[in-house]
Structure formats: structure tokens, C-alpha cells
Amino acid sequence: MCALAWLAFTCGKARPGEGSSATDEAPDEPARDARRPGDPPTARRDTLDALRQAARAPRHPSDGGGRAWLEADSATPAQAGRSGRWAITYEVGPAGIAVGGFVRFTAPVFWNWSPAQASESAAPGYTVAECTAEGVTLEAREGPQGLEFVVRGRGLVAGERVELVYGAGDARALADRYAERESRFWIAVDGDGDGQARMLADPPGVDVLPGPAAVLSAVLPSTAEPDETVLLRLAFLDGTGSRGAAFVGDVTLLARPEGLELPEKVTFTSEDAGVKSVELRVKEKGVVRILARAEDAGGEFLAQANPLLVEPNAAPVRWGDFHGHSGLSDGTGTPEDFLAYARDVAGLDAVCLTDHDHWGMQALDEYPELWARIREASERFNQPGRFVTLLGYEWTNWVHGHRHVLYFGDEGGEVLSSIDERYETPAQLWDALRGQDALTFAHHSAGGPIATDWTFAPDPELEPVTEIVSVHGASEAPDAPQRIYSPLSGNFVRDALDKGYALGFIGSGDSHDGHPGLVHLVSPQMGGLAAVLTKDMTREGVRIALKERCCYATNGPRILLRAALDGQRMGSTLAPKAGKSLCYVRAIACAPIATIELVRAGKIVETLPGEEHWDVEAAFQPEDLVAGEYLYVRVVQQDGGAAWSSPFFVR
Ligand SMILES: [Zn+2]
Ligand SMILES: [Zn+2]
């Protein structure tokens, strides 16, 4: 069961402590048995086989018995990125542990906790275990999935205890770099000594507190009508973007245009815990830009909010992030905290937590209580008209590529696992989802941890959009800003459109740091958001917008993008036409604009300079629209921030 996380940990591209940022982790070099004839070049059948084998290994009733807890002086919260020492008591369950069986300790696997080790007492993560029961010794052994303390002498019986200390040496043990609740110390037990262990159902965990305030974030909605009241969300975050960083003092606000009714200052008290919303009444038509400033002993904080377009009957632009992970798979924190961050800090309008179906220490498809918890949280946070939460998961297929399953109905849906032979190809997944209120989308499709197998044509009913950018980089095209790593030639989204697939564009964070909607805040241009063009902020409204490709992608910044071809909105289908067409573009950016490009039938056909303007109107006049082709607009800021319209399709 936890072999899967260990694969990630030992072979991952972004091994905790070495990785650049929060990403799905993939095994490195393909093994010889990674592919079967007909498999895509990035297929990892060896990984899939290992996951299946681990999931199906027989377990003895004594495996996973007993319980464990943190000793009182160890249960105090840890500090992100700092060292600590934790004492854990394990009590043997009714079936005991035979000689040769073991108690396995694994430190939290993701995001920089020191791996537990028993070989170097001066190094971080040094872990010792002691059993006071007479006639029993414990022999430490570093196994592939953690530190195993093998029972020698005689077997352990119910109620006997093992005392573990993690970080027992002078260097102690380093905690997670991201703040989170419930970071778990994993304990597994092999009760019969056959080498197969089972995880304790409810392992102990600690909370990890954020570091000092280092970043101020300011978020506005993107569209409003004159005289509307909008929320400006201010948040002091630590150096990794975690919330809860302490700040007490005033934030001053500066706004363009002048004359906007603004409070002179916003006062943060300790009760605000660094997060506050301010109501603003916007009056006149125009583009509102707000600068927030604060200072404390540590220095100055400056935040520039995203632009807000105030216009009568403004066509709304809402922001969604439909792909991210919590501590229930390989991300950070609880599902509840993930959704609260999306709403209160990132100011998103729609969000979906998509933990992996089978990747992490306890997999969603093996522990139904985890899926139940996600389902319950997504029900509780959903506020039709204001904040939309969807139930979803990542179908983490190591042969055909990863896809997301989003459920829109209030009754939700099930985890159709990618390691289950019934749902192991995209076509089988779509067949199983047909008739349900669900949509899917592929991601990091050009490369990254695994590329999308485009030989399966996206289901026209179930897969209307694709994720072209995330924390992994852009899969749009080889010439995209911040192109994805390990790209597979001919496998970009533009290549998929060249095959005739009609896909709209979204971006997603693929956050593993617990910061949906704001991953790019601490790693600029390495994130993603979906602009959803709808007035109807309900699950059904979001579903229809995605279904009709009424959406566009950015790599993080909330760039306002309007694009119309001969009066038709982005994502629409137009008839062929001889002569000139008019493609109108308006971009209201978060930084000076470098270029506005028109992409047509696989190529950039025209590039207009942004001339350092932040707000640009432009027109392209493509000639002779031919059946089968597509066109879309790409706007790139000077700082690399970018937005991509969904394509127009000529049919
Ligand atoms: Zn993935
Ligand atoms: Zn993911």
C-alpha cells in the first residue's frame, strides 16, 4: 500500500528537499519492461505493475494491528522548515507481532521532512526505537519503504509497547517546508513476519505552523458593474505562500482611478491571522488597479492586485482551479484547509481538490473514508452563486497519461481507479462515466511526469477542455513561455488540435503546497488558472461553461482576456468563410504586455507588439477561414505571465 509513495520518494524527479517546486513525481529512467508494443513512449507499466502488486499483496490479520500516539511533549506544532524531535509510542494489537515481524516508521514522505534513518546519529532524521518488554530486542533495518524495527528474541504480545524517537540525534529532524495540519507519522506493522506490512488506520500526526510573514497578496474579482460592492482579499503569507503568518498593523491602499471609495487603511489584528477581506464599492466605468502596502520590523510588503474591469453589463470572468492535491495523496494539508485557502486567500470562484486515485501513503481507492472526507468537504464548502466546489480526483494512469475526473452532480461519483483493469484506458474510463454528470481533462500532456496518449481521441461529450499549463509548465506548444520539462515532440496540445480535436483551454495550479489558485505567487509563471466565462456560479453553470469551451487559460496571473472572431466568442465553432475576418482582442494585464499573437492551424501567423502597455486592444484580420482549422490568441507579458484564449474552430 505505501510502496507507491515510496516509488515517488526514492525515484521522484522532485524528491523532497531537492525538488524545485510542488509537482507530481515521476519515476526517472524507464525500466526495460516499462512498455508493451503499442504503448506510448512515456508509458510506465513497471510503475503500474508495482502499484498493483503492492495493492494486492496478501495481508495477515495481525498486519497493521495496534495503535500509536505522540507523547504529550511531542504533540506541539512543528515550525515549517525547522527542526524538531518527536516521541511516538506504539502499542501492540490483539494479534501480537511474531519474531521476524516488524514495526515500520516512515516520516511524512512529501515536502522536505527528513527521511527516518538509523545509521548516522549525527545526521537529521536519526530514529531510535526501544522496547522495555523482557526478552525482546529490536533490530533496526532501513527498508525500501521506511525504517523497520524487526522483533527478535521472542514475539511481542498485546499491550506491549515500542517507544520511537524521530530526530533523536543532535541534528534532530527537519519538518515540512509548507505549513499544514495533520502531517502524518506513518506506522506500519508486519505481524506475522512474512515481510508484508499494513499501515495503522489512524497514524499520529502534527500540525506544521507557517514561517514569518514574507509576502502580501491582494486579489480582486476581474469584472464588476458600476455601483457594485466587491471584495478585496488581502493575505500575509510566509515565504512559501502558506497562510497564517502573523502580521499586526496597517495596510494602506492606493487606487487608480482616483476617486474610488477606499478605506484609508485596513488594520490587521492578531485575530485576523493575516487574512482579511475588504468591501469596496466600485463606482465608475473603467479599469481599477489597487496597490497595497504595509511594513513591519521585517521590512516592507507591497502587493499589486489584479486588474478589475468595471463596466455596465460586463461579461463576467470568474476564476477556477480544478486540479490540486492535499495531504490525502501527495500534497499538503487537509481537504478543508485546501478549500478554505481557495476561497479566503486566493479568492477563487470555483475549485476542485483532485487527489490521486492511487498515489500517496494511503490511496483513495483503498481507503473509502478518505474519499468520503473529500466528498463531505466539497459539499460543505459549496455555496451556489458565490463559491463552487466540485468533487473530483486525478486518474493517475502511468501508461496513457493523467486525467482529471470532475463530478458536477450533487450526488457526486466514485473513484474509478486507474490501476483497476476495468478503467485502465481513457476509453474505458469514459465508458464508465457516460451518463454521469462528469467531465474529464488531460494534463501535463506534452511531457512532464508522463505525457498524454493522444491516440485516444478526447471523448466529445466528456472531454471538452484540456489543461495547457500548470506548475509543470506549458504543454501548449514548443514555443510556449515556460514550456514543460521532458517534452515529447509531436505531443503538444497544438499537435492534438492539428489532429482535429476540438478542445478548449484551461490552466490549473496542480498545487501540492496547499495553495490552490496561488501556486505562482512564490514561483512566478509556474502555475495555472482557468478563467470561466459565466454569470451562473453554480456547479451546473461551471459545467456548461467548460462544456461549451467558454473559458481560457493563464499561467497564474489574472489577465483579463476578451477575444471574438467575427462576433463569435472564444471556444465557438464558425462556418468557413472566404475573404477577411475580424479577430478582436482586448487584454488587460497584470504587467506590461510583450506580444499578442494569433495562432492558426499549427503556427503563429501574426505577432503584434504590446509596446509595454498594460491594457491593449488589437485586431487581426485572418483571411479565408477553411473547414477543419482553428485559431486562438496568446498574450504574453514581459515577465512571462501569459493567457491563452480557447480556440475558435472552423467546421
Ligand atoms: Zn498528474
Ligand atoms: Zn496532479
CA of 642 to the centre of ligand 2 (A): 21
**Alpha-carbon distance 565 to 549, whole Å?**
15
Q: Which of 614, 644, 356 is nearest to 528 (CA)?
A: 644
Rounded CA separation 435/445 (Å): 26
* Average pLDDT value over all residues in the chain: 93
**In sequence order, what are the beta bridge partners of 89?**
69, 163
Predicted pLDDT at 436: 96
Ligand whose nearest atom lies closest to the CA of 329: 2
Kind and range of the H or E run holding 376 = helix 368-381
Residue 593 pLDDT greater than 80, yes or no: yes
Residues 6+ apart with CB under 8 A from 65: 92, 93, 94, 95, 96, 97, 189, 191
In 3-state terms, what secondary structure has residue 581? coil
Q: What is the mean pLDDT of residues 375-383?
A: 98
| Adjacent-strand bridge partners of 127 | 166
How many CB atoms are located within 10 Å of the residue 46 CB? 17
Cα separations in angstroms, 388 against 218, 336, 340, 342, 508: 21, 14, 12, 10, 16
Angle formed at CA 635 by CA 630 and CA 637, multiple of 5 degrees: 160
Q: How confident is the model over 390-418, as a mean pLDDT? A: 97
**CB distance 129 to 92 below 8 Å:** no
Residue 74 CA to ligand 1 centre (angstroms) = 35
| 32 Cα: distance to centroid of ligand 1 (angstroms) | 23
d(CA 551, CA 569): 10
pLDDT in tens, 253-309: 999 887 678 888 999 999 999 999 999 999 889 999 999 999 998 899 999 999 999
C-alpha span between 381 and 404 (Å, rounded): 20
Distance of CA 477 from the midpoint of ligand 2 (Å):
20
Distance in Å, CA 11 to ligand 1 centroid: 16
HSE-up of 435 (CA within 13 Å, CB side)? 2
* pLDDT at site 76: 81
Which residues pair with residue 304 across a beta bridge? 291
The pairing of beta strand 573-574 with beta strand 648-650: parallel
Residues 545-558 pLDDT 10s: 999 999 999 999 99
How far is the C-alpha of 78 from the C-alpha of 175, rounded, in Å? 7
CA of 508 to the centre of ligand 2 (A): 9
How many whole angstroms from 451 Cα to the centroid of ligand 1? 9
- 22 CA from centroid of ligand 2 (Å): 10
- Cα of 469 from ligand 2 centre, angstroms: 12
Q: At 135, is the secondary structure helix, strand, or coil? A: coil
Number of C-beta neighbours around residue 375 at 10 A = 17
pLDDT tens-digit profile of 432-476?
999 999 999 999 999 999 999 999 999 999 999 999 999 999 999
CA atoms within 13 A on the CB side of 297: 3
Nearest ligand to residue 444 Cα: 1
State the distance from the centre of ligand 2 to the C-alpha of 17, rounded, in angstroms: 19
* pLDDT-derived band at 8, boundaries 50, 70, 90: very low
**How far apart are the CA of 276 and the centre of ligand 2, in A?**
29
Report the pLDDT averaged over residues 49-55: 92
Identify which ligand lies nearest to the alpha carbon of 26.
1
pLDDT tens-digit series, residues 477-520: 999 999 999 999 999 999 999 999 999 999 999 999 999 999 99
Query: C-alpha distances in angstroms, 623 versus 252, 571, 580?
Result: 50, 19, 4
Confidence of residue 30 (pLDDT cuts 50, 70, 90): low
Q: What confidence category does residue 180 fall into, taking pLDDT thresholds of 50, 70 and 90?
A: very high
The C-alpha cell that represents 107 in the structure block: 516520516
**Ligand in nearest proximity to the CA of 451:** 1
Judge whether residue 16 has pLDDT over 50: no
Among all ligands shown, which has an atom nearest to the Cα of 322? 2
Cell numbers 502587493 correspond to 303
What's the pLDDT at 12? 29
**Could you tell me whether strands 615-620 and 583-588 are parallel, antiparallel, or unpaired per DSSP bridges?**
antiparallel
Mean pLDDT of 428-432: 98
Contacts (Cβ under 8 Å, ≥6 apart) of 553: 467, 468, 469, 505, 506, 507, 528, 529, 530, 531, 643, 644
Q: Which tops the pLDDT comparison, 330 or 8?
A: 330
CB-CB contact of 257 with 282 (8 Å): no
Ranges of beta strands (E only) in 472-534 are: 473-474, 504-507, 529-532
Run of H or E including 228:
none
What are the grid coordinates assigned to 116, written together?
Answer: 527516518
For residue 395, which ligand has an atom nearest its CA? 1
Residues 507, 512, 515, 516, CA torsion sign: positive
Residues 454 and 495: beta-carbon distance below 8 Å: yes
